[in-house]
Chains A and B, each alone.
Chain A
Amino acid sequence: MGPIEKLAAKGVSRRDFVKLCAATTAAFGLSKVFVPQVVEAAETAVKKPAVIWLEGQDCAGCSESLLATLKPDAATLVLDVISLRYHETIMAGAGEHAEEARRKTMEEGGYVLVVEGSIPLADDRFCKIGGKSFREMLLETAKNAAAIVAVGACATYGGIPKAGPTNAAGVLDVIKDKPVINLPMCPGKPSQLVATLLYFITFKRAPELDKYGRPKVFYSNLLHDNCPRRGHFENGQFLTDWNDPSQKEWCLLMKGCKGPKTYTDCAQVWWNDGANFCINAGSPCSGCAQPEFYADFNPLYTKTEMFNLPGLGQMNVDSLGKAIGGLAAAGVAVHLAGKLITGNGSEKDSKGVGK
């Protein structure tokens, strides 16, 4: 059976699958020459990679976010690309059947563990599943995992629950002896999760991570540097009235935007199949990609008095528009250029990847 037939047999249209793999390589800044390698890795896998998806102190928003994917569509992802062994919100089995599915997969080993939701460190009783505390369940399931992906603000850094009374923490605060790939935001972004899973399937290791455990390809750019409203920021045009059509594209700094403190790909990769993102909907960025979210990033809708604008140092918002003259703007441009990801580093990364 040739590769195309094999894919057809798996129920995936060849065109869609190659597109998906191409999107992955593009997402990771890899050259197109790697597309066939990604396609081959996914095609030649004897078995679909097993995935255990655990939910702790969560809202199922990250699961719903994954199901919002249209490229690839959720059915292809869940039935053809991965083998989803345990997922409370989706799986057929309940009770002991659910636990049995998890146990069997743990015994086999080599699965990808995806974690949604935070872990309450104040008291194990704040989150129990199948009569067991979520913390114990996480430790137990992490043991034989080939990779661990924390998805969403809660599982990465504690998210909104961290601001509450349960001492909610991220996976890295519990799993100390294994690498964890952090894909924050509220909810986690499906494009990042799919690309990360395919990257792992292809290269059998995690992509390069930043100091917060986030893949650099998604989290190296300051939102503010890439914001479609940046021009208005530099012209000192700040939105004060959502009713005024002439202001509708203006900078949201006065409405509390955390874009100048937030590293994310939101400006480049919009949500819901490219439909929109917060700032384009007139909503200030809440900084949900950062460890500071939400406990250290509130109030959300009050202008940030002081913030560190790279290349310009500590600035007061009121003076910013005026401060950015031609000279300073040039400085920002130089800074931006220095931060752009080049293809070179990424290609070097992929050397030594075994087949």
Chain B
Amino acid sequence: MAVQKIVVDPVTRIEGHLRVEVEVENGVVKNAWSHGTMFRGFEQLLKGKDPRDASYVTERVCGVCTCSHGLTSALTLDQAFGAQVPEGGRLIRNLILGAIWLHDHPLHFYHLSALDYLDVMAVAQYQGNDKGLLGVKDKILKLVQMGDTSPLTPRYEPDQFCVRDPEIVLSAVSHYLKALEIQAKAKKMCAIFAGKIPHNSSMVVGGVTKYPNLQDLDNFRTLLKEVGDFVRDVYVPDVLAFGTGPLLPLAQAGVGGFGNFLAYGWFPNDKDGKDMMFKAGVVMDGQIGKTREFDSNKILEEVKYSWYEDTEALHPSKGVTRYLADKKEAYSWMKAPRYDGKPMEVGPLARMLVQQHKPVLDLVTKYKIKPGAVARHAARAVETLLLLEHVEKWLNELYELMGKGDLKIHDTEHWDPPKEASGMGLSEAPRGALGHWIEIKEQKIANYQLVVPSTWNLSPRDGKDQRGPVEEALIGAPVPDPKNPINVVRIIRSFDPCISCAVHLIEPETNEILEFRIG
């Protein structure tokens, strides 16, 4: 059978604009390319600006990972300015981030992914008596009767991995609707300390701007109870029930991937950041159980297949960005970050494997799950539980701190920009390892670089022609019907791509690959 090229553009239900091309032979993906197709130039526009603006501006890099960039930029500035964030500032930053993660992970499962695993229209066959479920069934049937089921259709045709049991589907759809409310409440929780969400204004160099009162903490706690109950009683059980039940064959199939995992670690439990909730570390070649120490000096960015002037592989602190749109062999404006020369997967699965989190390892062992789309969803759910426990703990610590009086939230001594300095901020965003680097000259930004989770995951090939992690993860994916590449989008979405963050890329027409549009 001839090789067929399939183009999915736009890849929807992700953040940002993504085009993915795969070559399929005998019903299996043999090769893959991922292209981001939008460019804004954040790094360039920051040059010459007041360094303090960076946390506000980079917050706007992404409206889904909102707060992650604001935080990481603030960390970068903290280091450059020599600022020491007081305890209150650390706890409030943790609560802001914690709340937004509690919004982000359930939203990713229900609203960005679940429709790939459900035959939503199966709800019509539900014959049970559950009042709540019947209400949801009626809601969907009314849409069908009105002849307008947007945005649930059109869609790829459900395949053999789609759940069709009417009761399971109906309960999942009802949770989809409930999760819409829960993610809005988690955002509200976040806004109590963040000002508003998306796009917090509270995290600045040195700490936060929101001086809380007890009423704020009480409001946060009330919402946390509701969101936490949903995470514990609905979201996590749903993911695990799907992963170890109807989707188990998919979970055990795994497919694709290098087995290289990277985490920078984040969520400090103490003042010095020695005790992190998520640990930093590296797993190579699928050697789970052998976590190596992380060394930020081993991060280099390559540009062989990127539209930039060829340079040697550079550390982001020395990163340069000179366009070369006519570079023939290039196919992406994304650089290719590599760790110790290797492409690395980042995100929930990477974090859980790096710190050898027992509940995830137990699951993997018990059900013989391989790294793949289902494993990523499961790791995401399990780490949400871990985070939830910590958010509850940090909130209690903030109550205690306020009870003692003399709450400090900001390092006011280090508010003015230094004349010359550099800084690095490393943290974990919901989608994986996130780093910012700054160089300050004459109290202005001289250079600003971001290496974001989706650049790690969606990067193009590097100098040694190694594929990026998502490109590699697609290899071997079954696509029995080229018009219905549902497995391709399942795998891409399991990485929770955030393309706005990742793009330093455009796609000149001259380099366009011959295109066979699907459908």
Contact = CB atoms under 8 A, between A and B. Distances in A.
A92 interface: yes
A129 B45 contact: no
A108 B202 CA distance: 45
Contacts of B512: 131
B146 A73 contact: no
A73 B9 contact: no
Interface in A50-78: 50, 55-65, 67-70, 73-75, 78
Given A68-B187, A275-B188, A281-B202, A129 B10 contact: yes
Q: Closest 5 CB pairs between A and B?
A: A61-B63, A96-B519, A281-B195, A271-B196, A283-B201
B52 A67 contact: no
A91 B13 contact: yes
Interface residues of A, number: 88
Nearest to B65: A59
Interface of B: 7-17, 19, 37-42, 44-45, 49-50, 52-53, 56-57, 60-64, 66, 86, 107, 111-112, 115, 120, 135, 138-139, 142-143, 146, 148, 150-156, 177, 180-181, 183-185, 187-188, 190-199, 201-202, 204, 207-211, 219, 407-410, 412, 489, 500, 506-509, 512, 515, 517-519
A48 interface: yes
Contacts of A126: 38-40, 506
B234 to A, nearest CB: 15
A65 B201 CA distance: 15
21 contacts: A11-B139, A48-B148, A65-B198, A69-B184, A88-B10, A92-B152, A93-B154, A94-B8, A96-B518, A131-B9, A159-B60, A164-B44, A186-B60, A242-B209, A243-B412, A272-B188, A272-B197, A275-B192, A276-B191, A278-B195, A298-B53
Contacts of A298: 49-50, 53
A230 interface: no
A38 B53 CA distance: 43
Given A47-B148, A95-B10, A125-B507, A286 B153 contact: no
A60 B111 CA distance: 14
A242 B409 contact: yes
B185 to A, nearest CB: 7
A79 B211 contact: no
Nearest to A57: B40
A101 B211 CA distance: 48
Contact of A164 (B11, B40, B86, B208): B40
Given A88-B17, A101-B150, A166 B211 contact: no
A249 to B, nearest CB: 9
Interface in A267-281: 270-273, 275-278, 280-281
A76 to B, nearest CB: 9
A125 B333 CA distance: 11
Contacts of A282: 202, 208-211
Interface stretch (A202-210, A299-307, A312-320): A299-307
Given A93-B154, A163-B45, A64 B209 contact: no
Contacts of A11: 135, 138-139, 142
A67 B182 CA distance: 10
A160 B195 contact: no
Given A276-B191, A300-B56, 17 more contacts: A58-B500, A67-B180, A88-B17, A92-B115, A93-B12, A94-B156, A98-B10, A98-B154, A128-B17, A165-B41, A186-B199, A242-B412, A248-B211, A273-B184, A278-B196, A286-B56, A298-B49
A130 interface: yes
Contact of A127 (B38, B120, B199, B489): B38
A286 B409 contact: no
Contact of A60 (B62, B146, B193, B207): B62
A241 interface: yes
A48 B149 CA distance: 11
A145 to B, nearest CB: 16
Given A58-B500, A73-B180, A164 B7 contact: no
B105 to A, nearest CB: 14
B125 to A, nearest CB: 19
A339 interface: no
B371 to A, nearest CB: 24
B198 A61 contact: yes
A93 B153 contact: yes
A281 B153 CA distance: 41
A139 to B, nearest CB: 18
A75 B12 contact: no
Most chain A CB within a 10 A radius of its CB, from B86, B154, B155, B410: B154
B412 A92 contact: no
Contacts of B154: 92-93, 97-98, 100-101
Contacts of B8: 94-95
A276 B196 contact: yes
B202 A299 contact: no
A238 to B, nearest CB: 14
A90 interface: yes
Given A125-B506, A160-B57, A55 B202 contact: no
Most chain A CB within a 10 A radius of its CB, from B111, B199, B207: B199
A325 B500 CA distance: 49
B515 A272 contact: no
A234 B16 CA distance: 45
Contact of A242 (B56, B207, B500): B207
Given A55-B17, A91-B12, A98-B12, A271 B39 contact: no
B132 to A, nearest CB: 13
A300 B191 contact: no
Interface in A14-68: 47-48, 50, 55-65, 67-68
A193 to B, nearest CB: 14
Given A83-B150, A281-B209, A286 B12 contact: no
B515 to A, nearest CB: 7
Nearest to A62: B63
A84 to B, nearest CB: 5
A281 B40 contact: no
A127 B10 contact: no
A15 B433 CA distance: 45
A128 B511 CA distance: 14
A289 B188 CA distance: 21
Most chain B CB within a 10 A radius of its CB, from A92, A98, A270, A280: A92
A168 interface: yes
A31 to B, nearest CB: 30
A164 B41 contact: yes
